[in-house]
Amino acid sequence: RVRLYVLLTEALCKRPILETAKLVLEGGADAIQLREKDKADGELLGLAKEVRALCHAHEALFFMNDRVDLAVLARADGVHLGQEDLPVGLARRIAGPKMIVGKSTHSLDELKAALAEGTDYIAVGAIFASPTKPQVACGGLELLHQAAAICDRPILAIGGIGADNAREVVAAGARGVAVCQAVIGQDDPAAAAKKIKKQIENI
């Protein structure tokens, strides 16, 4: 059911992080992933619990990036793994069978491997150039077409997606879009989220 999936990183927010999270949810985000690489564990766990509470108050899902241990402690709905993180099977041994496990992929080979691992959903990208991850090569809509043809699980498209191209990305085979600065880096995160959601909700 997730169409608009927002990555939340404090350093990229124009407003305080919890205010940003609240506004993003008011704008229609279906899920928030807390993506913080440099915070101390105790601080990150406290923040995760607060963001989770906001998500659940808005009937949205809450995901932790990378950290399966903190996802469990924060009672997150899911955890999102990168290519360098724990394999999906090991993450499930820690998290239990009910937690949603997603994985980032940047090629068809990585996507096939993630499917074989048993991931619940797959992020595919970067579709377009992304200021958040400039080192990741762009696969374009062609990568998305190819991924959709072989994937039997929900695909989230990521990388350089905003209100101007979200519709074509979903039309190309993505179930939803994962965005970061296009929403949290705006003066009005609620309006930015709402604008993207409007582009994709009826596709």
Which residues belong to the active site?
35, 104, 133
Cα–Cα dist 173/53, whole Å = 31
Task: For the beta carbon of residue 69, count every other beta carbon within 10 angstroms.
Answer: 16
Q: For residues 88 and 135, give the distance between their C-alpha atoms in angstroms, rounded to a whole number.
A: 24
Closest CA to 162 of 1, 21, 2, 4: 4
Q: Where are the alpha helices (DSSP H) in 27-139?
A: 41-57, 68-73, 88-95, 108-117
3-state secondary structure of 4: strand
